[in-house]
C-alpha cells in the first residue's frame, strides 16, 4: 500500500505541473507531438534571451561550440577545449532543457590534421575524436549528429549513393565512402545510450533525399544482418534551411521516404528566409523590418510546415530552429526567425503557435 502521506503531495505536484504549464510556450503547444528546440550561442546564454530560450524550448543544440574545430586542438596531441561547450550544456541541463550534440564528423569547421596523414592515421584520429567527445559528454547529451553533410549537391543517380557523396571532404578523400559507417560504429560502441543521427541540408531536393535514404538503409540493413536488433543510424536530420522558394510537397516527399525505412526524423536547423530565391548571403546583424506582405507570406509557410510536421508526429522526434531572432541569425539578411531583432514575436511566431488558423 502506498501511504496517504506520499499520495497527497504527489497529487498536488501532478496537478501543479499541469496547471502551471505556460500555455503560450511552444514546448507546451507541441508537447504531444515532438521536442521543440533552438540553438544555444553566447548571445542566448544570459538575461532575457536565455529566459526566452528556456520558456519556449525543451532541447538545445550548440550553434558552433561542439563542432570539431571548437573542441579538438589545433595540433595533434594538444588539449581539448571544453569550457564553452560545458558551460552551455550544464546551463541548459540545470534549466530543464536537453542537449543535442552537433557535430562529430564534418568536412567543415574541422581540424586539418584529422585527415592530413595516411588512411590509417585518419581512422585513428576519427575514432579518438569520437571517443573523447562522447566520453566527455556522457549522460549530458541525448543525441548526436554523428556525420554532417556528407552527401553531394548535384546528384543524378541516387541509387548509387557512394558516387553521390561530396568529394570536397578530407574524410572522403582519405577514407572513401566507408568513413560514414566507421563514424557510426565508433559512436555506437562509445555510448550505446545516445541516439545517432545523419544530418544534412537540402533534403527537400528529391535526388539528394533519395541518395541519403539509400545510404542509411544500406548501412542499417548491413548492421542488422549482423544480428543487431536496432538500427546503426537511428535518425535522419533534415536541416530545414528554407525560404519562400520552398515547394512544401518536396518536404512531404522526404518525410515519406525516410519514414519508409524505419528511422526517426528530426528537423534540425529550421529557418525560413523571407526571400524568393535561395541565396548564400550569410552573417549576423543584417536584419531589417519586414514589409507586412512578406511577414505574412513567411508566417503562412511556417504554419504549413508545422501542419505537415504534426501530420508526421509519429515519425518526427524533434523540431529545432536555427536561431530565435533575426539579428543573431546566421542568415539575418533573410529575416528567417520567429522573433525580430528586438526579440519581439513576429507573425511567424503566431503562425507556429497556432498553425491551424493559417
Ligand atoms: O550557424 C552557424 C554559423 O554561426 C557558422 O558561422 C557556420 C559556419 O559553417 O555554421 C553555421 O551552422 C551550420 C551548421 O553547423 C550546419 N548546417 C548549416 C548551418 C548554417 O551554415
Instruction: Collect all residues with Cβ–Cβ distance below 8 Å to 237 and sequence separation of at least 6.
Output: 145, 197, 198, 199, 200, 265, 266, 267, 268, 269
Residue 41 CB–ligand 1 contact under 6 Å: no
Residue 321 CB–ligand 1 contact under 6 Å: no
State the distance from the centre of ligand 1 to the C-alpha of 61, rounded, in angstroms.
Answer: 12
CA angle 329, 330, 333 (to 5 degrees): 75
Report whether pLDDT(11) > 90. Answer: no
What single-letter DSSP state applies at residue 288?
-
State the distance from the centre of ligand 1 to the C-alpha of 63, rounded, in angstroms.
Answer: 7
Pocket test for ligand 1, best of 37, 40, 64 (most atoms within 8 A of CB): 64
State the distance from the centre of ligand 1 to the C-alpha of 240, rounded, in angstroms.
Answer: 12
Catalytic residue among 145, 149, 273, 326: 149
Summarize pLDDT for 295-354 with one digit per residue, the tens: 999 999 999 999 999 999 999 999 999 999 999 999 999 999 999 999 999 999 999 999
Residue 64 CB–ligand 1 contact under 6 Å: yes
Give pLDDT, residue 102. Answer: 98
Residue minimizing CA distance to atom 1 of ligand 1 = 330
Catalytic residue among 65, 191, 200, 234: 200
Reply yes or no on whether 63 is catalytic. Answer: no
Reply yes or no on whether 311 is catalytic. Answer: no
State the distance from the centre of ligand 1 to the C-alpha of 263, rounded, in angstroms.
Answer: 25
Residue 239 CB–ligand 1 contact under 6 Å: yes
Rg value, the chain, Cα = 21
Report whether pLDDT(15) > 80. Answer: no
Instruction: Collect all residues with Cβ–Cβ distance below 8 Å to 91 and sequence separation of at least 6.
Output: 40, 45, 50
State the distance from the centre of ligand 1 to the C-alpha of 322, rounded, in angstroms.
Answer: 9
The whole-chain average pLDDT of the chain stands at 95
Average pLDDT over residues 86-92: 98
Q: What DSSP line would sit under 62-105, residue for residue?
A: ESSTTSHHHHS-SSTT-----HHHHHHHHHHHHTT-EEEEEEEE
Give pLDDT, residue 1. Answer: 46
Summarize pLDDT for 139-161 with one digit per residue, the tens: 999 999 999 999 999 999 999 99
Pocket test for ligand 1, best of 202, 322, 323 (most atoms within 8 A of CB): 322
Residue 65 CB–ligand 1 contact under 6 Å: no
Q: Which helix (H) or strand (E) holds 8?
A: helix 4-19
Reply yes or no on whether 157 is catalytic. Answer: no
Amino acid at each position: 500500500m502506498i501511504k496517504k502521506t506520499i499520495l497527497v503531495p504527489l497529487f498536488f505536484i501532478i496537478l501543479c505541473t499541469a496547471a502551471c504549464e505556460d500555455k503560450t510556450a511552444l514546448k507546451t503547444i507541441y508537447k504531444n507531438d515532438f521536442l521543440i528546440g533552438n540553438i544555444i550561442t553566447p548571445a542566448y546564454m544570459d538575461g532575457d534571451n536565455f529566459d526566452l530560450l528556456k520558456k519556449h524550448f525543451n532541447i538545445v543544440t550548440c550553434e558552433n561550440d561542439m563542432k570539431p574545430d571548437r573542441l579538438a586542438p589545433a595540433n595533434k596531441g594538444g588539449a581539448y577545449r571544453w569550457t564553452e561547450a560545458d558551460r552551455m550544456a550544464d546551463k541548459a541541463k540545470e534549466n530543464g532543457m536537453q542537449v543535442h550534440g552537433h557535430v562529430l564528423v564534418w568536412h567543415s569547421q574541422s581540424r586539418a590534421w584529422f585527415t592530413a596523414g595516411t588512411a590509417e592515421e585518419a581512422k585513428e584520429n576519427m575514432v579518438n575524436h569520437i571517443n573523447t567527445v562522447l566520453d566527455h559528454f556522457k549522460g549530458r547529451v541525448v543525441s548526436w549528429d554523428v556525420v554532417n553533410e556528407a552527401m553531394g549537391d548535384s546528384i543524378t543517380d541516387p541509387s548509387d549513393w557512394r558516387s553521390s557523396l561530396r568529394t570536397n571532404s578530407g574524410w572522403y578523400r582519405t577514407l572513401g565512402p566507408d568513413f560514414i559507417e566507421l563514424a557510426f560504429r565508433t559512436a555506437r560502441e562509445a555510448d550505446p545510450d545516445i541516439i545517432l543521427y545523419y544530418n544534412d541540408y537540402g533534403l527537400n531536393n528529391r535526388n539528394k533525399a533519395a541518395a541519403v535514404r539509400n545510404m542509411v538503409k544500406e548501412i542499417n540493413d548491413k548492421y542488422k544482418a549482423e544480428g543487431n536488433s536496432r538500427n546503426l543510424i537511428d535518425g535522419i536530420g533534415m536541416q530545414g534551411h528554407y525560404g519562400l522558394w520552398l515547394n512544401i510537397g518536396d518536404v512531404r516527399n522526404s518525410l515519406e521516404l525516410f519514414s519508409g525505412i524505419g528511422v526517426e526524423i528530426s528537423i534540425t536547423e529550421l529557418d525560413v528566409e523571407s526571400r524568393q530565391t535561395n541565396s548564400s548571403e550569410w552573417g549576423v546583424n543584417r536584419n531589417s523590418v519586414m514589409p507586412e506582405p512578406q511577414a505574412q507570406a513567411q508566417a503562412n509557410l511556417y504554419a504549413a510546415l508545422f501542419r505537415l510536421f504534426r501530420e508526421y508526429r509519429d515519425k518526427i522526434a524533434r523540431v529545432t530552429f536555427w536561431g530565435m531572432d533575426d539579428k543573431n541569425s546566421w542568415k539575418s539578411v533573410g529575416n528567417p526567425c520567429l522573433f525580430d531583432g528586438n526579440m519581439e514575436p513576429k507573425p511567424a511566431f503566431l503562425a507556429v503557435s497556432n498553425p491551424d488558423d493559417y
